[in-house]
A and B are shown apart, each in its own frame.
Chain A
Amino acid sequence: MINRLQTLGRWGLIRFERLGRGSLFLMQVLAGLPALLLRPRLALQQVYATGVLSLVIIIVSGLFVGMVLGLQGYNTLVDFGAEESLGVLVALSLVRELGPVIAALLFAGRAGSALTAEIGLMKATEQLSAMEMMAVDPLARVIAPRLLGGFIAMPLLAAMFSAVGVFGGYFVGVGLLGVDDGSFWSQMQSKVELQEDILNGVIKSVVFGFVVTWIAVFEGYDTVPTSEGISRATTRTVVNSSLAVLGLDFVLTALMFGDF
Chain B
Amino acid sequence: MMQTKTLEIAVGLFVAAGLAALFVLAMKVSNLTAFTDDTGYQLVAKFENIGSLKVGAPVSIAGVRVGRVGSIGIDHTTHEAVVKLNINKEYTDIPADTGASVLTAGLLGEQYIALEPGGDVKALKAGDEIKLTQPALILEKIIGQFLFSKAQEGPTKQ
Q: Is A45 touching B56 in the complex (CB atoms < 8 A)?
A: no
- Does A108 sit within 8 A of B, measured CB to CB? no
How many contacting A-B pairs (Cβ < 8 A)?
A: 124
In chain A, what residue has the closest Cβ to B68? A182
Is A44 part of the contact surface with B, judged by Cβ < 8 Å? Answer: yes
Per-position 1/0 for A149-174, Cβ under 8 A of B: 00011011101101110100000000
Chain A min CB distance to B34 (Å): 7
Partner of A160, one of B2, B21, B26, B30: B21
In the bound complex, what is the Cα–Cα distance between A197 and B13 (angstroms)?
A: 26
User: Is residue A183 within 8 Å, beta carbon to beta carbon, of the partner chain?
Assistant: yes
| Inter-subunit contact A194/B32 (CB<8 Å) | yes
Contact of B57 among A45, A52, A183 (CB under 8 A): A183
Knowing A44-B7, A182-B58, the reply to whether A198 touches B110 (Cβ < 8 A) is no
Is the CB–CB distance between A157 and B30 below 8 Å?
A: no
Chain A hits for B24, CB < 8 A: 163, 166
A126 CB within 8 Å of chain B = no
Option from B13, B17, B110 in Cβ contact (under 8 Å) with A183: B110
B19 touches A156 (CB 8 A): yes
Partner of B58, one of A47, A163, A180: A180
**Contact yes or no, A182 B109, CB < 8 A:** no
Flag A239-260 by CB within 8 Å of B: 1 or 0 each.
0000000000000000000000
Does the CB pair B4–A41 fall under 8 Å? Answer: yes
Q: Which residues of B contact A80 (CB under 8 A)?
A: 106-108
Kindly state the separation between the CA atoms of A80 and B65 in the bound complex, as whole angstroms: 22
**A130 on the B face (CB < 8 A):** no
Q: Select A186's contact among B20, B26, B56, B105, beta carbons within 8 Å.
A: B56
**Is B146 an interface residue, CB under 8 A from the partner?**
no
B72-114 at interface with A (beta carbon < 8 Å): 105-110, 112
Answer yes or no: B149 CB below 8 A from chain A CBs.
Answer: no
B residues sitting closer than 8 Å to A (CB atoms) are: 2, 4, 7-8, 10-11, 13-15, 17-22, 24-26, 28-32, 34, 54-58, 65, 68, 105-110, 112
Query: Could you write out 10 A-B pairs with CB less than 8 Å apart?
Result: A52-B11, A80-B107, A95-B29, A156-B14, A156-B17, A164-B21, A187-B54, A189-B30, A194-B32, A197-B30
